Amino acid sequence: MNQSKTPHSTYDGNVTWKPPYPNPGIFAPLPSWFHWPPADTLAVTPRYKPIYTTDELVDFIVDIPHHSSETVITLDFDDDSEPFKTSVHPGTNIVSVPKGNIAVTSTAVTAALGSVKARATFGVYQEPTPGMSHTVRVDYLHGSLVPQQAGAGLISEPPVFPFGMYAGFSSFGEPDPVGAIKELKAMGINHVNFVPPYGNGTQIKALLKAAQEIGGVSIQYDMRHTYIHTANVTAEVNDVKAYNSLATWYTADEPDGQRTAIEPAASTKAYRTIQSIDPHRPVMLVLNLIRNSAKLFAQAADVLMTDVYPIGLNPRRCNYGPEGNCCGCSGCFGDIGTDMRRRMQSYRSQLADIGKPRMPIWMVLQAFSDPKTCWSRDPTPKEYRLMAYVSLIHGAKGLMSWIYPHGFTDELKKSLPGLSRQLVPLASTFILGGEQILEYTDAPRQITAGAWRRTEGGDRLYVVANTGDKALTLTNVDVATIFGQDAALLEGRRKLESLEVLTLTNTK
């Protein structure tokens, strides 16, 4: 985000990389504190947030260790609710509990598998009054946001993969709200965070109104400058919560890189304040550092975001310790595949360690240059596309980018509609409507790949990205080795030209 305001990238104890900063490719070392894959432990997660009093069944995701021999799980709710027992299997289980088993005042569930226990908190709420708020549920099974129409029995709309943007408010959104929404929509953008300050609030409400009338673009309301003041948060939430175009709240911007003693307590307090007024929409924040950040701030958001900016990066300036010039790209080498893989895997590992393996993570992509600080050049459209696909391969459930229009080249802007038309339907169908079942990294060849399986039908989608700087060739033998004999190439080319993506699918 605004790197000039966050100059210290190694406050979290990251390794300080020493010259000459070689491009390590996929061979980048992992720090001693880094654990991957995540621990295979028992975890329980309410599938949807929020839970409503009108829900007839409440689904819980119960992740069972693959080595477990136990076959019965007990869900025990507080406030004298009825315990619920059911048979389970190793891996992911969806346990549907009748609403009558859960007291309205319940706020936590404990899952017991033999002598092993896991715990999760939740809230049960009344549906919002039409015109007073809008419901956007988080589906923690797929990591998606599910808009719902309040007052109509909570009719769910299809989840939409966030292909989003940070945009300058004063220079872009404020002068022409309707024109700004139409321009973003024409670029394929479906979710936007207008960067404050918002002045007296008149123009940001004009943007919310324009997005509501035009449709197809939702708004993330940004409180980065005001979230530490409870009175301001309360006033802002009450002022705009009735707009249906408002999808997400945004509190802190890189609070882990600010070197301030108030964090993470301030972010957590802001989260609780927002939830007390509007529990019907998720709260987001963005993190920049790699070590411990996800673990420390997981209580301050429903969905975490992180920004990785590897293009044209000078690691000496952004990873040089407390005396460094910018927050930059924590623990980065300036290599797309390495930097994005390490950040995503680190956060997923941290969340699993604290019993939150299902918490979604969105990636913020680089769409700017800043030679005065850390970044010598802008990303090309191919590099932007690669960053997007590598993020998805490693588990991102949404994409944003920093920042429009200031950082966008004409070339990159022209490429976005095509990427959106390709990526949003693909991600909406497989990533937000299925389960990621495979991660694969072929170190010598610098190929990274992921696979997703749709819940219904079992169809598989394979995505492969060449993160190296040389063209590669995949033979039939390579395809069979990586994906099995039932894989077939959808795209006609066999050569993976530098920074290109291939899509493969199961033929069964």
C-alpha distances out from residue 136 to 174, 235, 312, 345, 419, Å: 26, 21, 37, 27, 25
What's 205-261 look like in SS3?
HHHHHHHHHHCCCEEEEECCCCCCCHHHHHHHHHHHCCCCCEEEEEEEECHHHCCCC
User: What pLDDT, on the 0 to 100 scale, is given for residue 432?
Assistant: 83
CB 394 within 8 A of CB 438: no
In the CATH scheme, what architecture does the domain 43-145 have? Sandwich (2.60)
Concatenating the DSSP letter of every residue in 49-108 gives ESEETT-SEEEEEEEEPTT----EEEEEESTTPPPEEEE--SEEEEEEEEGGGS-TT--E
* Residue 243 · residue 210 · CB < 8 Å: no
- Contact 75/95 with Cβ under 8 angstroms? yes
Burial class (CB in 10 A: 0-12, 13-18, 19+), 380: middle
Which pair of tokens denotes residue 433? 């409507």
What value does the mean pLDDT take over residues 381-389?
92
Question: Domain map of the chain by residue range?
Answer: 3-33+160-419, 43-145, 437-506
pLDDT above 50: residue 322: no
Mean per-residue pLDDT, 354-368: 96
Give the separation between CA 216 and CA 182, rounded to whole angstroms.
Answer: 10
Integer Cα distance of 314 and 376 in angstroms: 8
Q: Is the pLDDT of residue 231 over 90?
A: yes
Residues 6+ apart with CB under 8 A from 267: 227, 251, 252, 255, 285, 297, 300, 301
Confidence band, pLDDT 50/70/90 cuts, at residue 456:
low
pLDDT of residue 160: 84
Question: Is the pLDDT higher at 22 or at 265?
Answer: 265
As a whole number of angstroms, the distance between CA 351 and CA 328 comes to 23
Q: Which residue has the higher pLDDT, 331 or 419?
A: 419
Give the pLDDT confidence score for residue 3 in this predicted structure.
38
Rounded Cα distance, 221 and 192, in Å: 9
Lowest mean pLDDT among 17-31, 276-290, 317-331, 340-354: 17-31
Strand-pair partners of 460: 453
Query: At residue 429, does pLDDT exceed 80?
Result: yes
**Which carries the bigger pLDDT value, residue 290 or residue 456?**
290
Residue 417 dihedral angles phi and psi, to the nearest 5° = -60, -40
Taking residue 260's Cβ as centre, other Cβ atoms within 10 Å add up to 11
| pLDDT tens-digit series, residues 145-157 | 998 865 555 556 7
| Cβ contact 26:441 at 8 Å | yes
Q: Which one has a higher pLDDT value, 63 or 485? A: 63
User: pTM higher than 0.85, yes or no?
Assistant: yes
157-172 pLDDT per residue, tens: 788 899 999 999 998 9
Q: Are 436 and 464 in contact (CB under 8 A)?
A: no
pLDDT level of residue 337 (50, 70, 90 thresholds): confident
Task: Say yes or no to pLDDT of 102 above 60.
Answer: yes
Strand 135-139 relative to strand 124-125, pairing? unpaired
User: Out of 3.40.50.300, 3.40.718.10, 3.40.50.2000, 3.20.20.80, which CATH number does the structure's domain 3-33+160-419 have?
Assistant: 3.20.20.80
Report residue 19's pLDDT band, with 50, 70 and 90 as the boundaries: very low
- Give the model's confidence band at 373: pLDDT under 50 very low, under 70 low, under 90 confident, else very high: confident
Decide: 111 and 117 in contact? Cβ < 8 Å.
yes
pLDDT surpasses 50 at 21: no
Percent of the chain with pLDDT over 70: 78
Domains 43-145 and 437-506 share a fold: yes
- Joined together, the tokens standing for residue 298 give 């997981």
Q: Which CATH number fits domain 437-506: 1.10.10, 1.20.58, 2.60.40, 2.30.30?
A: 2.60.40
20, 17, 22, 24: which is closest to 446 by C-alpha? 24
- 481 pLDDT band, cuts 50/70/90, is low
Per-residue pLDDT reduced to its tens digit, 132-149? 778 999 999 999 999 886
CA distances from 76 to 65, 111, 455 (A): 19, 6, 28
pLDDT at 435: 72
Residue 447: is its pLDDT beyond 60? yes
Question: CB-side exposure of 249: number of CA atoms within 13 Å?
Answer: 34
Rounded Cα distance between 461 and 453, Å, is 7
**Mean pLDDT computed over 397-406:** 96
The residue ranking higher by pLDDT, 210 or 128, is: 210
